[in-house]
Amino acid sequence: MGEEGKKLKEFSKDFEEKNEGLTVDVQAIPWDTAHDKLLTAVASGNGPDVVQLGTTWVPEFAEAGALLDLSEYMEDYPNFAKENYFDGSVTTMEHDDQVVGIPWYADTRVIYYRKDILKEAGYEEAPKTWDELKDAAQTLADRGEDSYGLDIDRNDQITPFIFAWQNGYEANLEEGDLNFDSPEFKEAIKYYTSYFEEGISQKQEGKDIVEAFKDGSKPMFFSGPWMINIINDQAPDLEGKWSTAVMPTKETNTSSMGGANLSIFESSDNVEGALKFISYMTDVDTQLSWLEESNTLPSRTEAWEDPVMQENPMYAIFGEQLENTKPGLQTEQFERIAQELLAHIERITVGGADVEKELEEFNQEAQSLIEE
């Protein structure tokens, strides 16, 4: 999917040279159509041997019986071992005591911030706690009209959960309880929505975030590793004026574990070739080459010990944050639940609806989804 899909065909030639008789046929598809295309492939039984899955999609496809259980192959392929990966990634490998995918690349969210503008506001470094984040963002928003302190993408479904995890929220999926009525979850959503209610974050989409970061109207935002190259390419004048930092702490500084896994379709007629390809793509040396090619972060923790990861301060921050991450709730209903939450948050932030009432309704809707 995405940009990596376009690069993978050329990249796979090395694998073909090392595995005579195996050819890698890459089908690159956009992320926004991938989910439905893959569901169609499951229904028809005509899917690929190896499939890339976003980490939040794994439970849905595993529940549908679309993914081969890799448990019996773990011993023969040491690259698949769970101890090779971050804890947040290991959670996405498993479903109902089966191993249904191997982490291909990792992804998490951190703070991007303008060092020069925060310094003017009295902050020598990025905010380290919720209170500091709010204080710094308020100071930045008070600079004048069209100035904001923290850009929060209201279409990003993982940000509310990041705040909730930082506040100590946990779901109890084994007991079928999402715990969205817990104090930890409610407090986090109130904190999240307060940024919009107090004018610290822009309710409307506004100008492109790179442009707003460049002109200083939005000097802080959360994003993933792909933004490093985008800022360097589109705002080269900012070199030396911006940096990244780990997420702020409440109870924890947990961020999201995103990225993608590689799985084998249950209908594959070349399981052996598929296993070899996944093993190749999760080899440490391959992962470092793929980083250079695609700027996606290695899933293998050993790759993070390489000098290229340690000596680049931007990568080092992501490596530090990856030590404290959680994936989206591992239920096949996560996508629907997350979209419901965003809809209720919009009623609060844009429509002025009552937080308690909206969260009560959301909890009931979400519980009914997992009880279907």
Q: Residue 351, Cβ neighbours under 10 Å: how many? A: 9
Q: What is the pLDDT of residues 90-106, one digit of tens each?
A: 999 999 999 999 999 99
The alpha carbon torsion through 137, 139, 144, 146 (nearest 10 deg) reads: 0
- Given a cut of 90, is residue 158 above it in pLDDT? yes
Which amino acid, residue 84?
Answer: N
Asked whether the predicted pLDDT for residue 209 surpasses 80, the reply is yes
- Is 3-108+258-326 in CATH node 3.30.450.40? no
Q: How large is the average pLDDT for residues 251-257?
A: 97
CA 60, 63, 67, 71 dihedral sign is positive
pLDDT at 169: 97
| Mean predicted lDDT score pLDDT of the chain | 94
Predicted local confidence at residue 53, as pLDDT:
94
Mean pLDDT of 51-80: 95
Query: Is there a contact between 121 and 147 (Cβ–Cβ < 8 Å)?
Result: no
Instruction: Provide the pLDDT confidence category of residue 357 given band limits of 50, 70 and 90.
Output: very high
Architecture of domain 110-254+329-371: 3-Layer(aba) Sandwich (3.40)
| Tens-place pLDDT, residues 288-333 | 999 998 888 999 999 999 999 989 888 899 999 999 999 999 898 9
Taking the domains of the chain in order of start, what are their residue ranges? 3-108+258-326, 110-254+329-371
Share of the chain above pLDDT 90, in %: 85
Asked if the domains at 3-108+258-326 and 110-254+329-371 fall in one CATH topology, the answer is yes
Q: How far, in Å, CA of 124 to CA of 62, rounded?
A: 47
